[in-house]
Amino acid sequence: MWGLFKKVFGNKKLISGNPTAPIQFWVNDPSVPELVKEIPANSLPSLPMVVDGYSGSGHKIGTPEWRAANCYGILVNTMDNIIPKIKKFPNKWAATKQLSVYPVAGKDLNAFYDRRSLKFFYEFDPVAKKNIYSSDSADIVSHELGHALLDSIRPDFWNVQSYEIWALHESFGDIVAITSVLENENVIKYIIKETKGDLLKSNTVSRLAEQFAKILFNLTKGKGGYNPHSLRDAANEFYYVSPDKLKNDAPDNVLSRECHNFSRVWTGAWYECLVEIYNDSVKNGSSPVQALIFARNITFHYFITAVCQVPMTNKLFDALAQKMIAIDADNGSKLSAILTKVFIKRNILSTDIKSLSSNDIFILNSEEPTKKIKISDHFERSLILNQKLYDLEIEIPSENRVEVNKDGIVSLCVRSDFQENAKIALMCLNTLSTENLIDSLFVIKDNKLTRQKFIN
């Protein structure tokens, strides 16, 4: 393994016992420990953050001090890679002045973001016969940080009852993790060699949280329908189906409306856009490394810009696709054919724009982004599974928007149906009730249902 490490990163070793040494950390996942990166010892986070147990670098691998330093390095590196790419980033967390991070928050197979903190847990692997720490994985740490970054950008997403908005939160975390690790040119070379340039093949970067997936598989003895190779894989072939037509949950090889499962539709489409842009750049004469750097930069730029601007809608994936194509149009329509092809192939992009009448272009932001409603005002009591939710106030998406570009052409169309949005909210609540997730994800306060966390 040391020979492979030297080949990828040169003559470097993880330093132990030197507090002035650069902070070195696993840049991807403990399943590929040869992928290591370092940042200067005096590196500071872009936003106020304190990591429990962090006391600088130079500690022995596997110790609590090393684990805190590894987590700290991942977080600082991810912020440095991602925040500068977000135009007009708010430069503050959504609901706290300082984010608290707990690399070892307790024994559980979990990790979560709760607006005040990031908490990472550990569990004993009966096959490997050792504890597995979620904070060791850059995929998981960056993913949870992604929840916090998205919450800062779009705090209006936090409390809305919507399958696609929930799934976007999960996809955003995965895309942040993928983009951050691809900022390392050595990793780019690594996966190009690993896949022989065919990046649509599952690879070290497309597979997320490999070690965590393995312990989940081991704990269920292979009977839970879990993929033993990754929690999620961006190199997938999942196609959009309206989540209200899917089951609440399903094995990893089947699409369901569960937010982590369903998020793979958007992540897979975004990743396929990245790969197709990479392939096109190589075809047009770029080196594979430069082609992947270009594809990484442009796909994340389009994505994050779209996320910042997209309307609040239950058809969020469609709206994001429209937005990315519109952003490309502002950039000279250099990639619109690739983006459109992928989004249509994945059944994400609708044909609503083509059917607009000339009068539609004057409908601009005709409603508030969200509405607060009570299920009891719109549905019979028998339709809600958890009766304590019946009279509570909840939020639903409620934005109509048609946007016209500088040439007078409709570039985005979102139509909102109030009753349909309320119906989807009811389904969301029933899904959470069926999966016994209401009390772990939400709290009831002042007669309102309020989200308290996103879990890994």
Task: Tell me the pLDDT of the chain averaged across its residues.
Answer: 92
The confidence score (pLDDT) of residue 5 equals 34
Q: Which helix (H) or strand (E) holds 414?
A: strand 410-414
Q: Is the pLDDT of residue 21 over 90?
A: no
More confident site: 410 or 356: 410
Can you tell me which residue has the tokens 């967390």?
A: 93
Write out pLDDT tens, residues 99-151: 999 999 999 999 999 999 999 999 999 999 999 999 999 999 999 999 999 99
User: CB under 8 Å to 354, separation ≥6 — which residues?
Assistant: none
- For residue 414, CA distances in Å to 92, 160, 309 come to 30, 17, 13
Chain center to CA of 421: 23
Write out pLDDT tens, residues 371-390: 999 999 999 999 999 999 99
Tokens standing for 394? 């909840």
**Buried-exposed string 83-110: b where 16+ CB fall within 10 A, e elsewhere:** eeebeebeeebbeeeebebbbbbeeeeb
The confidence score (pLDDT) of residue 351 equals 59
Q: How far apart are the first and last CA of the chain?
A: 30
The confidence score (pLDDT) of residue 408 equals 80
DSSP one-letter code for 216 = H
Tokens standing for 141? 């740490």
Domain boundaries, the chain: 2-353, 357-455
Q: Is the pLDDT of residue 364 over 90?
A: no
Which one-letter amino acid corresponds to residue 79? M
Tokens standing for 110? 């979990």
Q: Is the pLDDT of residue 197 over 50?
A: yes
Q: Is the pLDDT of residue 337 over 50?
A: yes
DSSP one-letter code for 107 = B
The confidence score (pLDDT) of residue 405 equals 83
Q: Which helix (H) or strand (E) holds 201?
A: none
Tokens standing for 135? 């904070």
Write out pLDDT tens, residues 54-102: 998 989 999 999 999 999 999 999 999 999 999 989 999 999 999 999 9
Tokens standing for 400? 């109509």
- For residue 27, CA distances in Å to 34, 56, 284 come to 9, 18, 31
The confidence score (pLDDT) of residue 354 equals 43
The strand ranges marked E within 115-199 are 117-120, 122-125, 130-133
User: CB under 8 Å to 398, separation ≥6 — which residues?
Assistant: 312, 367, 368, 369, 370, 371, 416, 418, 421
Residue from 313, 289, 350, 354 nearest 163 by CA: 313
What is the C-alpha radius of gyration for the chain, rounded to an integer number of angstroms?
Answer: 22
User: CB under 8 Å to 422, separation ≥6 — which residues?
Assistant: 373, 375, 378, 379, 396
Residue 289 has phi, psi (to 5 degrees) of -65, -50
Query: Can you name the residues that pair with 118 across neighbouring β-strands?
Result: 101, 113
The confidence score (pLDDT) of residue 367 equals 60
The confidence score (pLDDT) of residue 16 equals 43
The confidence score (pLDDT) of residue 82 equals 97
Write out pLDDT tens, residues 246-264: 999 999 999 999 999 999 9
The confidence score (pLDDT) of residue 7 equals 36
The confidence score (pLDDT) of residue 327 equals 96
The confidence score (pLDDT) of residue 410 equals 85
More confident site: 257 or 223: 257
Write out pLDDT tens, residues 390-434: 999 999 999 988 888 888 888 898 888 999 999 999 999 999 999
Q: Is the pLDDT of residue 355 over 60?
A: no
